[in-house]
Structures are given as structure tokens and as C-alpha cells.
Amino acid sequence: MKHHFLVIAALAIVLPATGEEICRSISTSWDTASGQSFNTRMWTKADEAGCKIIEHTVDGERVDGVDCNCDLIADGEEARIPEPVSERQRGRLTEICLGPIAQEPEAPVSKPGDPIIIDG
């Protein structure tokens, strides 16, 4: 019985939620020949203008921003931060950038005809 509970618990964690898309992110890291280390993380979530949220870590310093043109670099940081080095890394981040925007769960809204419940 204990085994079945563990299997069900594992499936609940692994299986994707239905309905709204879950906000997720992709992260990739690389080092340059000069010894600098980079990490880029991009979320499926976007700002009000539809630009994807992106975060870079450059030698331990965090840079937050948005990427409106999907060049995989926070807008305004192009001179400072290079693109990821491998095609696979760039491809995964580009898929997130060009993909659908994650939907935030909205508060329930009553529709015409819904019953109104009043606690007395």
C-alpha cells in the first residue's frame, strides 16, 4: 500500500497541470575562453508589452530584464552579454522566447446565470 502511495505522489509531481500553461523557465550556462562565466534564464512569462522575462548572471552579478526581440540578451545589455555559445542552448531559449506567453491564474469570475450564494 505504501508503494502505491509513493507512485501516486510521484505522478502528481511529474504530470503537467491541465488547463492554463504553467510558467516555466529554461536556464543555460557557459564559460568563455577568457574565463568569464555566464548563465541565462528565460521565463515563459512576459511583461505587459509581451516581452519575455530574462535574467543573466555574469561572473556572479545578476542582471534582470526583458527580451523583446528574442536575441536571447536582456534589452540594453547586448554590448555586455554574449549569446549562449552552443546552437542547442540558443535553440532552447529561442523556443521559450517565441513560444506562447504563460497565463497567470485569474481570479474566478461569475458568469450570467451563475447562482449567487450568500452566507447568512
22 phi and psi angles, rounded to 5 deg: -85, 135
Q: Which domain holds residue 86?
A: 21-98
Number of compact structural domains in the chain:
1
Place of cell 555574469: 58
pLDDT tens for 48-105 read 999 999 999 999 999 999 999 999 999 999 998 988 889 999 999 999 999 888 765 5
- β-strands 37-46, 25-31 pairing: antiparallel
Give the number of other CB atoms < 10 A from CB of residue 67: 21
Convert 16-38 to b/e letters by CB count within 10 Å (16 or more is b): eeeeeeeeebbebeeeeeeeeeb
Instruction: pLDDT band for 111, please (50, 70, 90 cuts).
Output: low
Percent of the chain residues topping a pLDDT of 70? 67
One-letter amino acid for residue 115 of the chain: P
Nearest CA among 99, 96, 81 for reference residue 43: 96
Is 48 within a domain? yes
User: Which one is predicted more confidently, 109 or 69?
Assistant: 69
The whole-model pTM stands at 0.66
Is 11 within a domain? no
Instruction: pLDDT band for 19, please (50, 70, 90 cuts).
Output: very low
Is 12 within a domain? no
